[in-house]
């Protein structure tokens, strides 16, 4: 089994846009990869983004021009203000402590709220609304916990772990950052450990980069072929998938994802009653019925 350390943040559009590649990894290798999520904490206060020149309107335009082509759903209405990402990170950590089996679903729910609504990650109502979409998760209890001592301690441990990129292959490749005085991993950096060996895929990477890393670390691991049936893909994951994620899991080696074909098959499955569609931003989320 390969241990995968995933450095990420719910406010990072690069991390969000990497889901088609990460979902493909999870489809191909399943339980042969054991993932650990580490929250970066990109901003403790929205003033940090103001100081860097960020603006809500410019961010919305960047989502449209830079990130939407990667296929994940976006809403392009500018938010009312910038937002710290730390409260969202602490909600993820609180979920890890109280309901670890739901941590990834909570993380994704916050990402979809961040990028397909006008909600802000430092708004408790937004956090509660997003987390309430995760079946089995007590959203009120999680949001009430984000200032608790154990949550803060675990979050600070995540932040410290994310700020250990100095001298790493990620820094060498120019995929690290230093926005608060310490060289850190950018989202969505992956560190993969297997049998005493470690390889890094820093920052945003294409699926081929991840696949090369896995192949070099674990060439005897089981590897699932691209899916033929989108319903089978949906049934593999405990949370809804975006159209681009389903298309990526169905893409043959060296092929290009066929988003139209995937969505056409998913629409047919909705008509047959085996799949449920929900609108998300400019696209869709799909779940087994």
Q: Are residues 235 and 173 in the same domain?
A: no
Q: Is residue 151 scored above 90 in pLDDT?
A: yes
Same domain, residue pair 179 and 242: no
224 in any annotated domain = no
Helical (H) or strand (E) element with 6: strand 2-8
pLDDT score of 128 more than 90: yes
Helix axis angle for 86-98 and 149-162, nearest 10°, is 110
- Provide the pLDDT for residue 144: 98
Q: Which two tokens stand for residue 285?
A: 């989320």
Half-sphere exposure at residue 117, Cβ-oriented, CA atoms within 13 angstroms? 16
Domain co-membership, 266 together with 163: no
**Per-residue confidence band for 50, with pLDDT thresholds at 50, 70 and 90:** confident
- Name the pLDDT band for 229 (thresholds 50, 70, 90): very high
For residues 76 and 183, membership in a common domain is answered with yes
Q: Are residues 87 and 139 in the same domain?
A: yes
Say yes or no: 124 and 77 in one domain.
yes
**Cα R_g (the chain), whole angstroms:** 18
pLDDT cut 90: percent of the chain above it: 95
Instruction: Report whether 200 contacts 192 (CB < 8 A).
Output: yes
Residue 124: inside a domain = yes
Q: What's the rounded mean pLDDT across residues 254-274? A: 95
Which residue, of 158, 188, 217, is where some domain finishes? Answer: 217
What is the average pLDDT across 200-205? 97
Instruction: Kindly report the CATH number assigned to the domain that includes residue 187.
Output: 3.40.30.10
Cβ-Cβ contacts under 8 Å for 28 (sequence gap 6 or more): 211, 223, 224
End position of a domain, from candidates 217, 246, 261: 217
Number of domains in the chain: 2
Task: Give this prediction's pTM.
Answer: 0.95
Going by pLDDT thresholds of 50, 70 and 90, the confidence category of residue 192 is very high
pLDDT of residue 254: 81
CATH number of the domain bearing residue 253: 1.10.10
- Structural domain ending residue among the three candidates 217, 245, 269: 217
**Is there a domain that residue 225 lies in?**
no
Query: What's residue 58's pLDDT?
Result: 86
- pLDDT (0 to 100) of residue 28: 97
pLDDT at 47: 84
Same domain, 111 and 166: yes
Average pLDDT over residues 6-24: 98
DSSP string, 185-228: EPTT-EEEEETTEEEEE-SS--HHHHHHHHHHH-TTS--PPPPS
Shared-domain flag, residues 117 and 257: no
The answer to whether residue 21 is domain-embedded is: yes
Provide the residue range defining the domain that includes 110. 2-217
Same domain, 238 and 209: no
**200 and 269 inside one domain:** no
Give the residue-averaged pLDDT of 44-57.
87
Residue 107 covered by a domain: yes
pLDDT of residue 51: 85
Phi, psi angles (nearest 5°) of residue 285: -120, 140
Residue 74 and residue 24 in one domain? yes
User: pLDDT for 73-123, tens place per residue?
Assistant: 999 999 999 999 999 999 999 999 999 999 999 999 999 999 999 999 999
Query: Is a pLDDT exceeding 90 seen at residue 26?
Result: yes
- 222 in any annotated domain: no
The answer to whether residues 202 and 240 belong to one domain is no
Q: Is residue 223 part of a domain?
A: no
If you average pLDDT over residues 3-25, what whole number do you get?
Answer: 98
Strand 184-185, strand 176-177: pairing = antiparallel
164 falls within a domain: yes
Please state, rounded to an integer, the average pLDDT across all residues of the chain: 96
């Amino acid at each position: 089994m390969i241990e995968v350390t995933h450095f990420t943040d719910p406010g990072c559009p690069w991390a969000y846009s990497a889901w088609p590649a990460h979902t493909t990894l999870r489809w191909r290798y399943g339980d042969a990869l054991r993932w650990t999520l580490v929250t970066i904490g990109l901003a403790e206060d929205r003033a940090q983004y103001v100081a860097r020149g960020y603006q809500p309107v410019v961010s919305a335009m960047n989502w449209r021009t830079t990130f939407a082509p990667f296929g994940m759903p976006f809403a392009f209405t500018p938010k009312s203000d910038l937002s710290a990402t730390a409260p969202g990170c602490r909600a993820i950590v609180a979920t890890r402590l109280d309901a670890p089996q739901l941590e990834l679903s909570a993380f994704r729910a916050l990402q979809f709220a961040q990028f397909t609504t006008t909600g802000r990650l430092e708004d408790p109502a937004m956090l509660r609304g997003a987390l309430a979409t995760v079946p089995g998760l007590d959203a009120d209890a999680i949001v009430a916990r984000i200032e608790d001592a154990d949550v803060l301690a675990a979050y600070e441990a995540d932040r410290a772990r994310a700020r250990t990129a100095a001298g790493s292959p990620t820094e060498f490749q120019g995929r690290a950052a230093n926005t608060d005085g310490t060289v850190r991993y950018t989202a969505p950096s992956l560190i993969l450990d297997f049998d005493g060996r470690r390889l890094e895929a820093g920052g945003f990477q294409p699926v081929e980069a991840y696949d090369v890393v896995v192949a070099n670390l674990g060439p005897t691991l089981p590897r699932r072929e691209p899916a033929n049936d989108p319903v089978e893909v949906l049934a593999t994951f405990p949370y809804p998938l975006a159209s681009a994620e389903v298309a990526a899991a169905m893409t043959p080696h060296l092929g290009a994802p066929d988003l139209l074909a995937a969505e056409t098959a998913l629409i047919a499955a909705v008509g047959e009653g085996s799949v449920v569609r929900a609108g998300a931003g400019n696209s869709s989320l799909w779940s087994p019925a």
